[in-house]
């Protein structure tokens, strides 16, 4: 299926022309595939079963229906509307070359990849190392995203990622090194093509609105235009986030001083997965198949990953995973176990509560420029579902926190 979405652009255009109300009276053409959720993604099953705008307008006079058909089919002409086209997933991709549509094509060399790097270093001087990292990043055309305590997050152009990872690794004793790479080529161009279809659908509805005088029919068209406009803005925000993450890779460097500054752990949790929790890197796997939630705009979930991970352009990250409920405990039991661990690390409890079926605790580190770390849990039978959110700074926390809590309310677990 790799890159098939590029070959389907002419097909999608045909769907738009035929499906956005372009069928003749009496046909059963499906509606043009509008997006159906806030993330800008499509639910094709819902589209196939939802009533089309054509059916909605059929309640009005016949002249309006004929007018709508003519506009949706491509304008006021005497030519009959094209026959209804099936949805893309019902079409066989032809083996012969697809005619050039003017859209850019993708080769293996043009793959769009999002890289994230994580380094943990033991250093003699945290401040000196931060200065060295900052200077190296600026020399490579990058910038510092956030700095909190002993953690610095930088964004760098793709051509300098590997070199900077290697350079940073020599600035102290390397304790941990993790690199994750997620290809988002299909995800990006799929979203881009869906945006194009939605924009063209809205353009046709706006043209139809200008010629419609019936008040009831105008209200129906306006309602559909409003819905499409919201979805278009959401898709644009998602594309912008993806583009930012593609253009500037993320490197997180956690610095551990040779002599701790009084922040050593006073006690640890007896549960290994709780001890492993980290604000800066994934420690609980398997979330992609275990859970789903309605993500806030402009978070983008990396759909090709096995782990559940979504990210905003400012590096605020939502991660999810699941572990066995051993020993058997309630959500309250596990959130208290996490609280014990966070207290031992010197984390400051900022907020606690419930979001839907999840219990959560929000922590910040003790620093002039703090970061925030939210941990939420839900227990269902023999599994504990854990969602973590990392806010790199105060601006990110202020921007996203309320929306993240709303997203937690929508979490669904998969059996």
Instruction: For residue 36, give the H/E element and its range.
Output: none
pLDDT for residue 280? 92
pLDDT over threshold 70, residue 318 = yes
Tell whether the model's pLDDT for residue 39 goes beyond 80: no
Strand partners, 352: 361
Q: What's the pLDDT score for residue 264?
A: 54
Can you state the angle between helices 161-169 and 126-139, rounded to 10 degrees? Answer: 160
* pLDDT tens, position by position, 56-109: 444 445 555 555 544 444 333 333 333 333 333 333 333 334 334 343 444 445
pLDDT digits (tens, 9 = 90+) for 229-272: 999 999 999 999 999 999 999 999 999 998 755 555 567 899 99
Q: Is 354 helix (H, G, I), strand (E, B) or coil?
A: strand
Residue 260, pLDDT score: 59
Per the model's pLDDT, the better-predicted residue between 268 and 204 turns out to be 204
Query: Around Cβ 402, how many Cβ atoms within 10 Å?
Result: 11
- How is 255-290 classified by DSSP, letter by letter? EEESS--S---S---SSHHHHT--SSS--S-BHHHH
Distances (CA, A) of 219 to 118, 230, 262, 294: 52, 17, 65, 28
414 pLDDT tier (thresholds 50, 70, 90): confident
Mind listing the pLDDT tens digit for each residue in 339-364?
999 999 999 999 999 999 999 999 99
Bridge-partner residues for 76, per DSSP?
A: none
Place 1 in a pLDDT band, splitting at 50, 70 and 90. very low
Query: Mind listing the pLDDT tens digit for each residue in 169-189?
Result: 999 999 999 999 999 999 999
DSSP 172-198: SEEEEEEEEEEE-HHHHHHHHHHHHHH
Q: Each residue of 350-407: pLDDT tens digit?
A: 999 999 999 999 999 999 999 999 999 999 989 999 999 999 999 999 999 999 999 9
Topology of the domain comprising 265-413: Protein Transport Mog1p; Chain A (3.40.1000)
Parse the chain into domains and list their residue ranges. Answer: 265-413
Please tell me whether residue 382 adopts helix, strand or coil conformation: coil
d(CA 379, CA 386): 9
Cα–Cα–Cα angle for 71, 31, 37, nearest 5°?
120
pLDDT tens figures, 122-149: 999 999 999 999 999 999 999 999 999 8
Question: What integer is the mean pLDDT of 98-121?
Answer: 67
* 79 secondary structure, DSSP code: S
Higher-pLDDT residue of 38, 203: 203
Residue 74 is predicted with a pLDDT of 39
pTM of the model: 0.72
Question: Residue for token digits 């353009």?
Answer: 203
């Amino acid at each position: 299926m790799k890159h098939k979405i590029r070959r389907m652009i002419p097909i999608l255009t045909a769907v738009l022309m035929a499906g956005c109300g372009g069928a003749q009276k009496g046909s059963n053409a499906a509606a043009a595939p509008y997006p159906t959720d806030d993330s800008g993604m499509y639910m094709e099953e819902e589209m196939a079963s939802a009533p089309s705008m054509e059916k909605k307008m059929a309640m009005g006079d016949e002249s309006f229906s004929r007018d709508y058909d003519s506009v949706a089919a491509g304008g006021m002409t005497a030519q009959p509307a094209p026959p209804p086209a099936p949805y893309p997933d019902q079409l066989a991709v032809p083996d012969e070359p697809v005619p050039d549509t003017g859209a850019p094509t993708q080769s293996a060399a043009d793959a769009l990849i999002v890289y994230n790097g994580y380094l943990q270093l033991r250093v003699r001087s945290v401040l000196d190392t931060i200065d060295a990292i900052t200077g190296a990043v600026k020399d490579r055309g990058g910038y510092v995203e956030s700095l909190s305590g002993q953690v610095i997050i930088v964004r760098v152009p793709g051509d300098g990622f590997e070199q900077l990872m290697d350079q940073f690794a020599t600035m102290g004793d390397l304790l941990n090194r993790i690199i994750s790479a997620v290809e988002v080529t299909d995800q990006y161009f799929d979203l881009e093509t869906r945006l194009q279809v939605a924009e063209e659908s809205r353009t046709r509805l706006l043209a139809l609105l200008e010629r419609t005088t019936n008040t009831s029919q105008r209200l129906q068209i306006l309602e559909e235009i409003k819905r499409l406009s919201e979805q278009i803005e959401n898709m644009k925000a998602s594309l912008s986030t993806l583009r930012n993450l593609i253009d500037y890779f993320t490197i997180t460097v956690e610095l551990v001083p040779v002599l701790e500054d009084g922040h050593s752990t006073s006690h640890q949790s007896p549960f290994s997965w709780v001890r492993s929790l980290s604000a800066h890197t994934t420690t609980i796997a398997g979330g992609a198949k275990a859970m789903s939630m309605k993500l806030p705009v402009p978070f983008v979930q990396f759909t090709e990953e096995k782990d559940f991970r979504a990210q905003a352009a400012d590096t605020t990250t939502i991660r999810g995973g699941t572990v066995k409920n051993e020993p058997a405990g309630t959500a309250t039991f596990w959130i208290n176990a996490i609280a014990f661990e966070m207290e031992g690390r010197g984390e400051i409890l900022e907020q606690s509560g419930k979001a839907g079926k999840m219990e959560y605790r929000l922590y910040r580190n003790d620093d002039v420029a703090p970061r925030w770390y939210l941990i939420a849990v839900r227990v269902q039978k023999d599994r504990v579902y854990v969602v973590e959110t990392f806010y790199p700074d105060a601006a990110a926390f202020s921007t996203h926190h309320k929306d993240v809590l709303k997203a937690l309310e929508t979490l669904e677990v998969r059996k």
